[in-house]
Amino acid sequence: MNPLAIAQIRPTVHRLITETPVFDIHTHLYAAPFGDLLLWGPDELVTYHYLIAEVSRTDRSVSPEAFYGMTKQQQAEHIWQRLFIEHGPVSEARRGVLTALTALGADVTQPYPAIREYFASRTVEQHIDAVFAAANCSGVVMTNDPLDDAERPVWEQGFAEDKRFRAALRIDGLLVFLEKNAERLQSMGYTISPALGESDLAEARRFLSDWAKKMDPLYMAVSLPDSFRYPDDSMTSKLIKEAVIPVCRETGIPFALMIGVKRLINPALKLAGDGVGRGDVGSVARLCDENPEVNFLLTMLALENQHEVAVTARKFPNLLPFGCWWFLNDPSLIEQITRMRLELLGTSFIPQHSDCRVLDQLVYKWSHSRPIIADCLAEKYEMAVKAGWPLTEAEIARDVKDVLGENFFRFVGKS
């Protein structure tokens, strides 16, 4: 293939980033057999917790308690009125609603009830197909919690697999909320007391091994507060060291750390009430250094952690940074973080995950991120060509496949 001229690079990168299916490594979506756990449609899209936080800043005569007392439809109409009709929809979460509705065929100039009506006759299977096609998404990783009483029966009864939905074993309920879950674990046949004696740790390993066998997860994951430190004398540290790491080492399953949440800084907002705090990257470095044979995926929530994460990843090939998580999933921050990661790591990272909670979001989360990633990549290719490199389209196609999925699958050792 002939080397590209400088002027050909950017359009080629944008075309390939758009045409290459993306594999989305972290979402809260569920395959259809999980029933109501899969959120979809306009009312769920409009009442996404990011928008609940935003609407609480508008008409303060409507308290969070009053808002949560509304029906889902009333909540959606309230949000639509306050955040779209009465104020410009310029936030990322609001723009996302418009992008998704428009891409899926709705007319957002219509009154909201007409938008809702447009989707009324869809089945969930039809919507899954339409959304995955519109997003050019080959598959997503779910967030699967064996301690969720609504989800566990689906795994225990078994279900018809949809290869677009892969599992991740989410273990906050063990690592962070053991005291709240000790009885539930006991009822599931696992005696794990917060005392964390040897038998408790052995039971924690059995729990993880059993559910890893049942779910065949691509990774195990936990969301940890900004205060997480390793090692320390906390239950979380002890369970990571004595239960999670041994099972990851034995099974080859990577461990995904998601660090930096200040949980419920405003409890009245419920799921929308979490904040962000600077985490400790040194704790992750120690985990990577102590366990070179275990692979760690890492995303941190604070912008001020991102440079240290990229530098730490340069030191540990068993550490793979991923995504611009949650409060970082905004165009100005995605650009800043992605350019820095390319400059420090080349293409050896995962630029984005969607974190979708609502199926329809898959469309906007990726159509918003793809062009930003493309521009950052194109800029670096242009600089390499100016330095003399004979760049071909095949090389760009290879790198785009890497950052949109292959880096992940090579790292987790699966396809």
Q: Judged by CB under 5 A, does residue 360 bind Zn ion?
A: no
Q: Is 355 in the site for Zn ion (CB under 5 A)?
A: yes
Query: Is 106 or 176 the residue whose CB approaches ligand HDL more closely?
Result: 176
Among candidates 29, 30, 26, which has minimal Cα distance to 321?
A: 26
Contact partner at residue 357 from ligand HDL, Zn ion, none, CB < 5 to 8 Å by partner kind? ligand HDL
341 binds, among ligand HDL, Zn ion, none (CB under 5 to 8 A by kind): none
Q: Does 223 bind ligand HDL (CB under 6 A)?
A: yes
**Count of residues of this chain found to bind Zn ion when the rule CB under 5 A is applied:** 1
Q: 61-95 in b/e burial notation, b at 16+ Cβ within 10 A?
A: eeebeebeeeeeeebbbbbbebbbeeeebebbbbe
Residue nearest to Zn ion (CB): 355
Pick the binder of ligand HDL from 118, 155, 326, 409 (CB under 6 A): 326
CB of 276 to ligand HDL, least distance (A): 11
Amino acid at the residue 236: T
Nearer to Zn ion, 246 or 273 (CB): 273
Q: Residue 40 and residue 47: Cα distance in Å, rounded?
A: 11
The minimum distance between CB 401 and ligand HDL, in angstroms, equals: 26
Selected binder of ligand HDL within 355, 360, 399, 402 (CB under 6 A): 355
* Subset of residues 20 to 49 that bind ligand HDL, contact rule: CB under 6 A: 28
Q: Does 368 bind ligand HDL (CB under 6 A)?
A: no
What tokens were used for 34?
Answer: 């999980």
What x/- string results for residues 239 through 268 when contact with ligand HDL is judged by CB under 6 A? -------------------x----------
CA angle 267/91/65 to nearest 5° reads: 25
Three-state SS at 210: helix
d(CA 93, CA 162): 28
How many amino acids of this chain bind ligand HDL (CB under 6 A)? 8
Asked if 390 and 8 count as a contact pair (C-beta separation under 8 A), the reply is no
Cα dihedral across residues 275, 279, 283, 287: positive or negative: positive
Q: Which residues bind ligand HDL (CB under 6 A)?
A: 28, 143, 223, 258, 271, 326, 355, 357
Q: Which residues bind Zn ion (CB under 5 A)?
A: 355
